[in-house]
Amino acid sequence: MTTGWAGAARLRRGRLVYGGAIGSNAAHAHHSVQVVAALEGELQLAGPTGDPFTCRAAVIPADVRHRILRGAPAGVMLHLDPRTPAGQRISPTGDDPREWCEAGEQWLGSLLAADHLTGDPFAVAEAVDSLLVGDESVPEAHPRLARVLAELPGMVEQRTVSLADAANVAGLSESRLAHLFHDRVGMPFRSYVLWLRLGRATELVAAGASITDAAHGAGFADGAHLSRVCRRMFGIAPSDFTRRMTWPTV
C-alpha cells in the first residue's frame, strides 16, 4: 500500500471494511470482490488493459488485474469473499470497467438515498457494509455447527485445521458439515477458516507482533505464507495493516 492510505479498518467474516484516505497502488489482482468509493471527488482507476478511467465508485470482480491511479482524501473500501452471498450478488460478471462503474453507481445511489455519505469515513464504511451484507447472523443455528464455530478460533491458532477435524468436533460426517457451512454460514469451510486466520494475524500485528510471530500465532506456516495470502486476498502486505491503519475493537 503506497503513501496516501490512512484510516480505520475491521475484518469480519468473509470481508475487510475500510474507511479513510484512498491512496494509489500498483497493478494487481486479488481473490476478493472489491468495492471502492470516493466520498470527496472522484477516483482514477485502471482495468486489465491499463487504460485509465474515472468514477466515484466501482465494484471490481475477484481475480481481475487493476490498480488505483489516483485516490481520494476520504473514501470507503470493502473486500468481500467472492464465495459469500454478498460477494456473488454485487460482483460484475466481466472485466469491462464500464460495468464496474455502473455497479458502483448502483449501490452508491442507495447510499445517497439513505443519507449515509456523510460523517467519519469509517462510519460510512460500516454503513456500506451493513447495506451490502445485511444480517450476518447464522440462521436457525444448528447446535453441532454452533459447537464448531465456537471451537474454531482456538483451533486455528494451534495447527492446520481440516474439515475432518471440525467434523469430529461436531460429531457429523464431513459432507454434512460442509453442507451446513454453505447453507448456514454462507461460505465454504476452508474459506471460513482462512478468514479466521487472517483476523487473528491482523489482531496480533496491530498489537505489535512481528509478521513472523503473527503468522505463527494465526496458524500460518511462516511470515512469507501470511504475506502471500494477504496480497492474494487484498492486494497489500500485512505490514501495511499497521503503518497508517487503526483497528477499532467496538
- Residue-wise pLDDT for 85-111, tens only, equals 889 989 998 889 999 999 998 877 766
- At 2, the pLDDT band (50, 70, 90 cuts) reads very low
Pairing mode of beta strands 67-70, 43-46: antiparallel
| Global model pTM greater than 0.85 | yes
Q: What is the distance between the alpha carbons of residues 10 and 78, in angstroms, rounded to a whole number?
A: 10
End-to-end CA gap in the chain:
25
- Residue-wise pLDDT for 53-68, tens only, equals 999 999 999 999 999 9
Most confident of 101-115, 125-139, 190-204: 190-204
Please name each of the domains of the chain with its CATH number.
6-133 (2.60.120.10), 143-246 (1.10.10.60)
- At 5, the pLDDT band (50, 70, 90 cuts) reads confident
| Total residue count of the chain as it appears in this document | 250
At 135 the pLDDT is 61
At 59 the pLDDT is 95
